Structure 1
Amino acid sequence: MPIHLASRRRTVASLAAEFPGAQIIDTTSKAMKPWVRLSPFYPHGGIPVPFCDDVTAQSVEGIWQALKVFDNADVDPAKLQVTTMRGLKRTVPRYGPVRGHRTGLDGARLLDYATARRLIYLPSYRWVLDNRVTDLLERLGQLTDRAEVVLLDYTTNGDITDLTKPLSHAALIRQYIKASQNDRRSESSPAG
């Protein structure tokens, strides 16, 4: 069965009308346990920080925010250790325009937004999918065998090249599950 994406801002009634009988799962930092563990804000701990040997973070969002550089502020290593899912965001109104993401806490290079998505955000979130939430991904895969599933996120942008909207981690979850299901199908099909 398919996995759909929808905005968490939608009403339960509108989701039920569009996806009758579907299992609706919130994947945001506002989700209930255990699904909140799929949020990039969730403090899994031990997440390797790209471009930093032997440095780990509590959350993917902590990595993203820690390495962000503004006109009036450089990296913020304290964001790597936030465990409350609060106080992670670093914003333009407070620090000025974003200049890029630094290649590590002490890196000399600044990455543009698209490159930072590919080299910082995606590997960090993929590490969480591979190492911290395999049980939840397995459950989601089993749910899709029986019913349609709707993953809620604040954005539904699954195109990493679309820089006009934040990237949806729910879209990354959907891609990961589809790829895993395709891999299982290939392994179980007879060699031709």
Structure 2
Amino acid sequence: MPIHVASRRRTAASLAAAFPGAEVVDVTSRAAEPWVRLSPFYPHGGIPVPYSEGVTGQSVEGIWQALKVFGTADVDPAKLAVTGMRGIKRTVRRHGPVLGHRTGLTGTELLPYEAARRLVYLPSYRWVLEHRVADLVERLRRADGAGEVVLLDYTVNGDVADPRTPLSHAALLRSWIQGSWPAETAAETVTGTAAGATPA
């Protein structure tokens, strides 16, 4: 049976009409236990930071934000240690335009957006699916075999190559369960920026 991804902003009545009889599972940071543990904001701890041997982060989102480089701010290692699910994001309003994601905390190169999704976000979230929430993944796999399942997220974009909207971790979760995980390789080449320098 199929797994669907739908917006958490939809009403219960709308979901029931669109997916009659389906099991609806909220996997956002506002979900109840145990499903909140599938959120990239959840502080599992011990998540390896790509391109940073021996360095770990509390959450997938913390890693994503820590390696982000803005027009007026470089990497922010403090985001790796955030154990709550608030105060993780870094915004263009405060730091200027995003220039890319650094290849590690002390890396010398910046990854373009799609490349960063494939080389930073995907492996970080996959690690969580393999090492921290395998039991929940299996529960969803069994539920999928018994009937339709709807995963709720704030965005439904499952295309890593589509930069127009944020990537849906619920869509990634569906891909993982269905054996269609996106490629963790990047066609784009990285751009050079000196490590530790504040980008112009």
TM-score normalised over the length of structure 2: 0.89
1:96 aligns with 2:112: no
Give deviations 1:135-183, integer Å, cap 9, x for gaps: 0001001111212100001111111111111111111111111119xxx
Structure 1 runs (4+) deviating above 6 angstroms are none
Residue 164 (structure 2) pairs with residue 155 (structure 1)? no
Aligned position for 1:129: 129
State how far apart, in whole Å, the 2-side matches of 1:57 and 1:94 are.
23
Q: How does 1:60-75 map to 2 (within 5 A)?
A: 60-75=60-75
Listed as ranges, the gaps of 5+ residues in structure 2 are 181-200
1:74 corresponds to which letter in structure 2?
D
Q: Distance in 2 between matches of 1:143 and 1:122?
A: 24
In the alignment, the residues of structure 2 paired with residue 103 and residue 177 of structure 1 have an alpha-carbon distance, to the nearest angstrom, of 28
Q: Any idea what SS the aligned residue of 2:166 has?
A: coil
Equivalence for 2:44: 44
Structure 1 regions of 5+ residues with no counterpart?
A: 181-192
SS at match of 2:179: helix
Q: TM-score, structure 1 length as denominator? A: 0.92
Q: Distance in 1 between matches of 2:6 and 2:130?
A: 24
Query: Root-mean-square deviation (CA), in Å?
Result: 0.9
Q: Which has more helix, going by share of residues?
A: 1
Displacement, 1:106? 0.7
Q: Structure 1 vs Structure 2: percent identity of aligned residues?
A: 71
Structure 1 Cα separation of the partners of residues 66 and 24 of structure 2: 32
Rounded to whole Å, the distance in 1 between the matches of 2:77 and 2:145 is 42
Q: Secondary structure at 1:75's aligned position in 2?
A: coil
Matched to 1:16, the amino acid is A
SS at match of 1:6: strand
User: Aligned equivalents of 1:99 and 1:178: distance in 2?
Assistant: 33
* Match in the other structure for 1:105: 105
Residues 21-36 of structure 1: pairs in structure 2 closer than 5 A: 21-36=21-36
Which amino acid in 2 is paired with 1:153?
D
Instruction: Give SS of 1:125's match.
Output: helix
